Every structure is written in structure tokens, then in C-alpha cells.
Chains A and B, each alone.
Chain A
């Protein structure tokens, strides 16, 4: 059984059809990169997977470990092991990062029939994860994303991912707005969380993040469909040559 299987997914925002039949299959342990131009539907795909209600699914199905994902609320998806690193992480003034994470983690543990972690055990776990990701402890005392730089926000997302230990993580443009050092830190953080069991979907506008997170598969989303899949070489070719050749390729295939 695949970890995630998307079949013929169509979705729209308002009256505009954005996804026009997406098929994607992700097995446990695989890292998939989804690339595409502005407006190709990358973020819509991520938002539909996370359950954002601004989008209406008009057809197709998404199976997550054999369960119908579209029937689940965003909270249920999260508790079932789906994690989303947002393109624009939201600030939560007044909410301490530690309390936020503890509440989220214990909700996931409860769902899996585990006891809630007490403060001592939680801090032990959190310190371990901080060490692995090479992040300073001051992050814990701050309010969620408040006053964080672009790089800190994205690192905080990866830190949340490490603590929540999801089955499938979707990283929506986690590389945007990062300088080379922050990019390296985020890339190596994600790579450390590859354990052969977790599925990771990296949605990105640029190829450069894939220098740090080696994907198993690269998919190109164009006009709401995955038009080509391949390996990392495909991403390199897109970076070097742009998307124009692919548009021609798609037209040729359609004509045949």
C-alpha cells in the first residue's frame, strides 16, 4: 500500500479551475520534488492536501495510508501523521513555541493511543531534536514565529516536523527567501529527518533546494497537471533551460 496516492485530482479556487487531474503516488521512505512555474498549481496541491478550506475539490481522490484524506478535517489529517511546512508561516503572538509544540505533539500521541508526555520527557525530546538540527534553545522561549527572520521561520517549521515525527511531510516552498546559509541549514535538517520510512514532498519554485535534499523523483506541474516525471537530472535541466522546452514537449505529446 502506498503512503499517499492521488488519483485524477481536480480542484478550484473560487470559479477558477487550478488542478486539472493530478496523479501522484508516494511510497514510504521516498522523497518527491514537485516543481513548476508561478500559477501552475503547486501551492494549491499543497493546500488541498492540508485541507485548507479556500479550495474546493471537484473530482478525484486522495488516499493516505488507505484512508480517504478528503473526508478528514485538517486536525484529523495532522493527527493521522500528515505534516505541512507552510510557505508563509503564520505568527502566533502570545503563544510560546514550547507550549505550542507540546500541545500538538500530545494530540498526535493521544490519537495513536500513547500517553501524553510530561514536561520533563517533552523537554528531553525537544533538546534532542534541537541538537540534531543544530538549532539554539532560545527558539523554544520565543512566541511562535513572532519577530523571526525568514530563515528562522523556515527552520522552526522543520523543527516542528522533527518533533511531530509525521508519516508524510509536505514542504511548501520551504526554500523561498532564504540565503545560502539558511538554505543549507534547512536542507541538512530535512535530510537528517529522512529515515527510510517517512515520505517527503518538496514543493519548490527553484532547483537550488534540491542541491541539499536529494529527491528520489522530480515531477513537473504545468497548468494543473503533472506533465513529466523524472529524477534529479530533470530539475537540473529545468534550472538550466527553463520551462519553454517542456511546453513544446507537452504540445508534441498531446499532438501524438
Chain B
């Protein structure tokens, strides 16, 4: 008890040197007049960040992910908007016409009048100010998700909001471009909110890229809602610069009969970590999570996956592969939760698979198989 008090005191004392404190104090006045729910989300995020800060080395979730690249990086929010980063990124990517971005950002700030305007794609900033929108950021990823998610909530300002109404099949992929860097040790707070309506179908490609050989830190949160019978394909392409740090969290909520096909491709970043969490909330959900990473030099490629079978009669397939050269490292941590549901009786059971490096995991769960395991 006494020890706990001492720890709390230490934490309180530390708040004077909280990372990003100066940035946050400068950023906050710009957010005056934001909706109350957003202010609360931000406050919760900042309070958690103040209290917890960076994940500790003895935190099980971060044991194999050294984050000194971030903690010693002295990152701060860029004060000016650098269009050059966006232009250079587009030139480097050489995207075909069909894959030109529908919406683009530099260090998390919207590039105005860029890209081909697409239906259902909005800037998160304008989307958040419309009180009639039923889906809001923070529903799946909030301050309790983890330190970096809390930091992302604290600095939540703009991003991509892709909201597909019920019964709509979008044929063209929707491309979101996040270009980063362009100023000394930039901190980029990136956010996507995607909602696929009942029996709708959509493909979203998120591209993360940035200046090569330049130090910056991208902190990403993507929240995805797929309603009943919805079909969603997500391609997440990490092409960050080789000196950058990239921390990402993608959380997907899947309702009855929905289908998720998620492909996570990681080529960039000195430190690249991606956590994907899929919540299978209704019966008949089909969830496929694939990943590939290609590392060289001293890159660290880290993938954490969580698939939560919260309802019976769902299936999930997972396949991760990696190729590493030089002194590159790979980390893979996969968790699958299978909850037993038999008639009115519900038991909880957890099955965990821990794998490392180049890994092949393929799982399929049906309730009858689960029953056999008890």
C-alpha cells in the first residue's frame, strides 16, 4: 500500500516533464469550440498519457519492442504545413490513375483540394463537427487501449472519415495517403474512421509514407465498423522512411455475417509496429488477417494480432510471413480468443498462440470444435 502511494507521488512529480506537454498546451487552444464528446475523449487520452507515458520495458505487450527510437527522438508537432512532402510522396509512389488518393494528409493535416474527390470520403475534422453522425472516433480505440492510443486521442484533430451507407457496393478502392516528415523530428498524429453499412461493400487502402532518411514519428489509429452483412477489404501499406518510427493500431468491429479481408504490408520504418484487433461480435463472421513484412538494415518489424471470437459460428484465417535481411528483426505476437457458447450457458476460454519471427498461423474455429476442446 505504502509502495503504491510512493509510486503515485513519483508519477505526479513526473508530470512536469511529460513528453509532448509543450506541444499539447500549444495545441489545446486551437480546439476550443469542439463538441463535448470530443473534448472528453481528448481529456481522457491526455490524462492517461500524463499518468502512464511511454510503455515500460517490463510491459508484457512491449517486451520485445524497444522504443528508444521514439523516447529519445525529441519529436514535436510541426508548426508549419509542408506541401513538398505530399508532392514528393506522390511522385515517389507513382500510383496508377485508379489508385490516386481520395484524401491526403501531411503529418496528419489535410492537404486541401488534393486528390480526386470521392463519395463517402470526408475529412474527420468536418465530420466530427456534424452532430448527426452516428459513428464517432473513440468508440473502439480510447485511452484505455494503450499509451500510444491515448496519445493519439489527445492530439486527435483530423484524418480520414469513410462512411459507406447501407446497401452500397463501392467498386473502386478508396485510397488514403498519409505523407509524413518534412520538418525536424516531426510527430504525426494520424487517424482513420471507417464505417461500412449493412450489406455494403468497400475496399480501403491506407498508404503511410514519408521522407527517406529523415527522422519522424507516425502514431496511427484506425477504427473500423462493419455492419451486418458488410464486406470490407483493408490494405494497409507501410512505406515509411527508413529512419522513422511508426506505431499503428487498427481495431475492427464485425457484426453478424460480415466479412473482413485485411492485408498488412510493412516495408518501411526503423521501428514499425502494428497491432490489429478484430472483434467478431455476431454469428457468421468471416475474418481474414494477412501480413507480410520485408526488413533490412536495422529495421524492427513488429506485428501483434488479436482475434476475438465473441460469437459462435465465426471463422478466422491468419497468415503472416516475413523476409528479413542484414540485422533486421521481426516480432509476431498473435492471440485468438474463443469464447464457448452453448445454448444459454456461456463459458470463457482463451486460447493463445505466441509465435515469433517468420510465422505461419492458420486458424479456424467452429463452436463444435470448441466444444470438443473442453
Mark A residues whose CB is within 8 Å of B.
13-14, 16, 38, 54, 87-88, 90-91, 149-150, 173, 176-177, 179-180, 205-206, 208
A38 to B201, CA, bound (A): 22
Contact B344 A14 (CB under 8 A): yes
B343 interface hit (Cβ, 8 Å): yes
- Give the interface centre of A13, A14, A150 by most chain B CB atoms within 10 Å: A150
Contact status B169-A177, CB under 8 Å: no
Set B258, B284, B285: member contacting A87, Cβ < 8 A: B284
Task: Verify B343–A13 contact, CB threshold 8 A.
Answer: yes
Q: Are B259 and A180 in contact (CB under 8 A)?
A: no
18 A-B interface contacts by CB (under 8 A)? A14-B344, A38-B256, A87-B284, A88-B284, A88-B313, A90-B368, A150-B259, A150-B286, A176-B256, A177-B258, A177-B284, A179-B231, A179-B259, A180-B169, A180-B201, A205-B228, A206-B229, A208-B199
CA distance A149 to B286 in the complex (A): 9
Give Cα A54–Cα B284 distance, bound, in whole angstroms.
20
By a CB distance below 8 angstroms, the chain A residues around B201 are 179-180
Is B240 interfacial (CB 8 A cutoff)?
Answer: no
Complex Cα–Cα for A149 and B315 (A): 10
Enumerate chain B residues within 8 angstroms of A149, measured Cβ to Cβ.
286
Please report the C-alpha to C-alpha distance between residue A173 and residue B283 in the assembled complex, in whole angstroms.
Answer: 12
**A16 in contact with B286 given A88-B366, A177-B257, A206-B199 (CB within 8 Å):** no
A176 touches B344 (CB 8 A): no
Q: How many residues of B contact A (CB 8 A)?
A: 20
Residues of chain A within 8 A (CB-CB) of B231 are 179
Given contacts A16-B344, A87-B284, contact A176 B366 (CB under 8 A): no
Contact partners of B284 in chain A: CB under 8 A: 87-88, 173, 176-177
Q: Chain B's nearest CB lies how many Å from the CB of A183?
A: 9
Tell me the bound Cα distance from A176 to B256 in angstroms: 9
CA A176 – CA B258 in complex, angstroms? 8
Q: How far, in whole Å, are A122 and B317 apart by their CA atoms in the complex?
A: 35
CA distance A16 to B256 in the complex (A): 23
For B166-202 the 0/1 string (1 means CB < 8 A from A) is 0101000000000000000000000000000001010
User: B272-331: which have CB < 8 Å to A?
Assistant: 283-286, 313
In the A-B complex, the 5 residue pairs with the smallest Cβ-Cβ separation, listed nearest first, are A176-B257, A177-B257, A88-B313, A176-B284, A179-B231
Q: How far is the CA of A138 from the CA of B230 in the complex (A)?
A: 28
The residue of chain B having its C-beta at the shortest distance from the C-beta of A180 within the complex is B169
Contacts of A91 in B (CB 8 A): 366
In the complex, the chain B residue whose C-beta lies closest to that of A88 is B313
Q: B259 contacts A14, CB within 8 Å? A: no
Bound complex: CA A54 to CA B228 (Å): 27
Specify the chain B residue showing the minimal Cβ separation from A38: B256
Give 5 A-B pairs besides A87-B313, A205-B257 with Cβ atoms closer than 8 angstroms.
A149-B286, A150-B286, A176-B257, A177-B257, A179-B201
B339-362 vs A, CB cutoff 8 Å, 1 = contact: the mask equals 000011000000000000000000
Q: Which B residues touch A150, using CB under 8 A? A: 259, 286
**Distance (Å) between the CB of B202 and the closest chain A CB?**
11
Q: Please, which residues of chain A bring their CB within 8 A of the CB of B285?
A: 177
Query: A176 to B229, Cβ gap below 8 A?
Result: yes
CA distance A180 to B231 in the complex (A): 10
Minimal Cβ-Cβ distance residue in B for A146: B364
Q: Which residue of A lies closest to B201 (CB)?
A: A179
A184 to chain B, nearest CB (A): 12
Within the complex, what minimum Cβ distance (angstroms) separates A206 from chain B? 6
A86 to chain B, nearest CB (A): 10
Q: Nearest Cβ in chain B — how far from A207, in angstroms?
A: 9
Report the bound CA distance from A150 to B261 in whole Å. Answer: 13
Q: B370: shortest Cβ distance to chain A, in Å? A: 13
| B residues 256-270 touching A (CB-CB < 8 Å) | 256-259
CB closest chain-B residue, reference A16: B344
CA distance A180 to B169 in the complex (A): 8
Chain A residues positioned under 8 Å from B169 (CB to CB) = 180
Q: How far is the CB of B130 from chain A (nearest CB, A)?
A: 24
Q: Which of B257, B286, B313, B343 contacts A14 (CB 8 A)?
A: B343
A37 CB, min distance to chain B CBs, angstroms: 11
Kindly state the separation between the CA atoms of A38 and B285 in the bound complex, as whole angstroms. Answer: 15
Contacts of A176 in B (CB 8 A): 229, 256-257, 284
For A14, the closest partner residue in chain B by CB is B343
Tell me the bound Cα distance from A87 to B256 in angstroms.
13
Bound Cα distance from A176 to B201, whole angstroms:
14
Distance (whole angstroms) from the CB of A224 to the closest CB of chain B: 17
CA distance A38 to B199 in the complex (A): 16
Q: Which residue of A lies closest to B169 (CB)?
A: A180
Pairwise interchain contact A177-B259, C-beta atoms closer than 8 A: yes
Chain A residues positioned under 8 Å from B256 (CB to CB) = 38, 176, 205
**Set of chain B residues within 8 Å of A173, measured between Cβ atoms:** 284
Distance of A92 from chain B, by nearest CB (Å)? 12
The residues in B between 200 and 243 inclusive whose CB is less than 8 angstroms from any CB of A are 201, 228-229, 231
Assembled-state Cα–Cα distance A208/B228 (Å): 13
Inter-chain contact A177/B344, CB cutoff 8 Å: no
Contacts A205-B257, A206-B199; is A177 near B229 (CB within 8 Å)? yes
Report the nearest B residue to A176, measured CB to CB: B257
Q: Is the CB of B343 within 8 A of A177?
A: no
Residues of A within 8 A of B259 (CB): 150, 177, 179
Chain A residues closer than 8 Å to B343, beta-carbon distance: 13-14, 54
B197 to chain A, nearest CB (A): 13
